[in-house]
Amino acid sequence: MKPARATHRDQTMAKNFIQPGRVVTLVAPTGGVLSGQAVQVGALFGIAAFDAIGGADVEVALDGIWELPKAAVAIARGAPVFWDAAAGNVAADIGTSNALIGGATEARGTSDLTIRVRLNGDSVWGAARDEQQSSFEI
C-alpha cells in the first residue's frame, strides 16, 4: 500500500519566517518624516506610510511604484534609477554615493520635476557603506 501523498495544506511554513517584507517598521531619522517622503535608513530605502517624529517608529514601503522628485536629467523608461541623498531626488547614475533604488516606469525629460519609480525592495548599495540616514519631502 502506498503512503498518502502530502498536500500543500499538510505542509507547514518554516518556523523562522516573519513576513513578506514589503512594509517594514523603521525608526524615523532625526527631523522626522512626512507621509510619502522617501526614507533611507542604512541599507533600506522606501516611502513613509505616515508622519513620524524623529526617533519614532514609522512604517516604510520598500516596493511598489512611487512618484519621486527627479534631478534635471533625462531618464529612459526601464532605466535603473538611483537615490541622491544629498540632493533628495532620483538621479540617472550612481555618482559618488547614490544608491540604486529601482527602475523608471516612464521616460522623463530634463525639465520634468518628478518620475515614477518601481522600487526594487532590495537593500540599497551605498547606504550601508556610508551608514547614512536621510529623509526628503516628495
Cell of 9: 495544506
85 pLDDT more than 50:
yes
pLDDT in tens, 63-78: 999 999 999 999 999 9
Q: What is the pLDDT of residues 46-59, one digit of tens each?
A: 999 999 999 999 99
Q: How many Å apart are CA 134 and CA 6, to the nearest integer? A: 49
Question: What pLDDT, on a 0 to 100 scale, did the predictor assign at position 8?
Answer: 59
Lowest mean pLDDT among 11-20, 62-71, 85-94, 126-135: 126-135
Q: Is residue 19 scored above 50 in pLDDT? A: yes
Please state which of the ranges 66-70, 84-88, 96-100, 125-129 shows the lowest mean pLDDT: 125-129
What pLDDT is attached to residue 42? Answer: 84
Q: Does 132 have pLDDT greater than 80?
A: no
Reported confidence tier of residue 5, pLDDT bands at 50, 70, 90: low
Residue of higher predicted confidence among 135 and 103: 103
Checking 55-60 for CB contacts under 8 A at 24+ apart, the result is 55/27, 55/28, 55/30, 56/27, 56/28, 56/32, 57/25, 57/26, 57/27, 57/28, 58/25, 58/26, 58/27, 58/28, 58/33, 59/23, 59/24, 59/25, 60/23, 60/24, 60/25, 60/26
* Greater model confidence, 116 or 93: 116
Name residue, grid cell 523562522. Answer: 16
Whether residue 126 has pLDDT greater than 80: no
Domain ranges of the chain: 21-136
